[in-house]
Amino acid sequence: MDWKNHMKKGFLLLLFLLITIIPFLKQEEPLFVKASEDITEAEMDEDAPLDEKLSAILANEHLEGTVTGVSIKRADTGELLYQQNGDIRLHPASNMKLLTAAAALETLGKDYQFATEILTDGKRRGKVLHGNLYLKGKGDPTLLQTDFVQFAKDLKKQGIRKIKGDLVGDDTWYDDVRLSQDLNWSDEPFYTGAQVSALTLSPNEDYDAGTVIVEATAKDTAKGKAEIRVTPETDYITIKNNTKMVDAGEPRDISIEREHGSNTVVVEGTMPVEGAASRSWVSVWEPTGYALDVFKKSLKAQGISFIGNSKDTFAATPADAQLLTSKQSMPLKDLLIPFMKLSNNGHGEVLTKEMGKVINDEGSWDEGLQVIGDVITDFGVDEDTILLRDGSGMSHKNMIPANDLAELLYNVQDEDWFAAYKESLPVAGEAERLVGGTLRYRMTSEPAKGNVTAKTGSLTGVSTLSGYVTTKDGKPLIFSIMVNNYVGSSATIRGVEDQLATTLAAHEFTEE
C-alpha cells in the first residue's frame, strides 16, 4: 500500500473542501438581516424624493424573479404618488380579507349579530319534553362550550329534565359545501383550512370555528406515552396516541394531524420528561356533528337526559317550532378584531356565506362572492381586472392589482363604519396580541411602531402588506405591497415590505 500517496490525496481533498466550503459558511447569515442592510445611498438620503427611496428598496436582489406590485396614494386626496406594476393582477393572500371585511361592514352593518337558537316541535309535560330538540345554527363562529352550557341551564330553568325525542342539528342556514373550491388538500386538516358549517363551535376565544385543541404533555417518567388532552372534551374526535416518552434533555418531536376524511387525530413522536407541551388546533371533519356532541354533553352535565328511542340526527327545523332559548353573537365590529388582527380564515369564509344568505337568500360561496364583488366595485375596484375565489385569501387564484386595492382603501374612508374597519387592522410593533396582531413582532421601532396599520398576507410564494401610515411631516398615506412568485426566505420578503412601510413613515415631503 502506497500510504504516502494516500496521505497526499487525503491532504489535497481536505484542502479542496476547506477552499470550497468555508466561503459558503461565511455567507450563512440571517436573510432578514441581509435584506435590511441592503440600503443604497438614495435610501440613506433623507431628502431624496420618495420615488427614489422606494425604487432603491425595490431593487433588492431578493426580489429578482418575483412580480412585485406597489401602490402608494395620498389618503386625503387619493393622488397616486408611486407605483410599480400597480395594474398587474396579483394574488393578495390574506389581503383578500380587506375586501371581505369592507363588504361585510357595508352590507351587514357594524352592529350585525349572528344567532343560534334552541327550538322544539313538542310540548312539555311535567319534567319531560315530548318532541325533538333542535340546535339551529345561523353561522356564528364565536360559539363556545360555555354557550352550550348556558343553553342547557336555560332549559333546566324551564323545568325540563328529560327529552323524549331526537336531538337534531340544523345547519341548513348555509349550503352543505364545507371547503372553498381552491383549498389545498394539505391545508384541510389544520385550523387554517377548517370546514365551514352554519352550526359550528370554537375551542377558545381565538374563535377558530370547527376546530379542537389537541395537546400533548409530558409525564414524569420516560416510560409509556405522553398525555393527550382535547379541548373541548368530545367523543367526536378519536385520538391515536403513538407518542413515546424519552429521557429529559432529549429532543421533543411531536406531530399532531387529523387523518383526511375522518375524525381520527394521530399524535406521534417523542416527548421528553419535563418537556414543554405541544399544542395544535386541528380542524374537525363535519363540524355540525361536533357541535351537537358538545351540546349533548352539556345537557347531560345539567341533568337533562334523552329517553325512549332518541337519536342524534341532522335536519331542518320545522317552521312552526317553538323557540326555547337563543344567543346573539358579539357585533360584527367586535368580531372583526380576531378576524383581521389574527387573520382568521374561517371568519372570512363565514362572512362570505352570510352575505350571500342575507343579501341573496343563499348561504354559498358563489352568492357571497357576488356580493363582495358588487360592493368593492362601488368602492373603485375595476370588476374586469379582479378574480374572487374565496373570502379569506387562501386561494392561489384570487387576483387583484395593487392600485385597485389601494383605491379601495382610499374610498372606504368616507364610510360611517371606517373607524371599526381601521381599528381591526394589525398595528406595527404593538405587543398586545389583539392590537398588534400579525404585526406585533414587526417594525417594533419608531417611526413605524404604532403608526403602520395594515393587513398582512402570506401564502407559499406570496407575501402582502396593505394599509395606512402617516409620514414624519403628518401626511396620511395608503399603501399596497404585493410580492408574488418569490422563493427562499419569507422573512426576507417581509423585511423588504417593512423597509418600504418604514420609509413611508420616515419620509418628509418637500417640493417634490
Indicate the burial class of 475 (C-beta count within 10 angstroms; 0-12, 13-18, 19 or more).
middle
Q: Which of 53, 73, 97, 455 is catalytic?
A: 97
Cell of 157: 330553568
In 3D space, the residue among 348, 398, 355 whose CA is nearest the CA of residue 192 turns out to be 348
CA dist list (Å): 268 to 241, 253, 258, 389: 6, 8, 11, 35
For residue 68, which phi and psi values (nearest 5 degrees)?
Answer: -115, 120
DSSP 456-512: EEEETTEEEEEEEEE-TTS-EEEEEEEEES--S-HHHHHHHHHHHHHHHHH------
DSSP 81-134: EEEESTTSEE--GGGHHHHHHHHHHHHT-TT---EEEEEESSEEETTEEES-EE
Question: Could you tell me whether strands 305-306 and 123-125 are parallel, antiparallel, or unpaired per DSSP bridges?
Answer: unpaired
Sequence letter at residue 45: D
User: How many other CB atoms are found less than 10 A from the CB of residue 7?
Assistant: 10
In 3D space, the residue among 292, 311, 324 whose CA is nearest the CA of residue 121 turns out to be 324
- Cβ contact 223:247 at 8 Å: no
Dihedral (C-alpha) 252, 345, 382, 466: value to the nearest 10 degrees? Answer: -50
In 3D space, the residue among 414, 436, 441 whose CA is nearest the CA of residue 425 turns out to be 436
Q: Is 238 helix (H, G, I), strand (E, B) or coil?
A: strand
Q: Which of 329, 343, 392, 466 is catalytic?
A: 343
Dihedral-angle region of residue 184 (phi above 0 means left; psi in -120 to 50 means alpha; beta otherwise): beta
Give the orientation angle of helix 490-506 with respect to helix 50-58, to 10 degrees: 170
Chain centroid to Cα 453, Å, comes to 17
94 has catalytic annotation: yes
- Cβ contact 479:445 at 8 Å: no
Rounded Cα gap, residues 172 and 313, in angstroms: 13
Bridge partners of 401, per DSSP, are 89
Q: Which of 94, 280, 298, 463 is catalytic?
A: 94
Question: Could you tell me whether strands 211-217 and 278-283 are parallel, antiparallel, or unpaired per DSSP bridges?
Answer: antiparallel
343 has catalytic annotation: yes
424 has catalytic annotation: no
Q: Which residues are catalytic?
A: 94, 97, 343
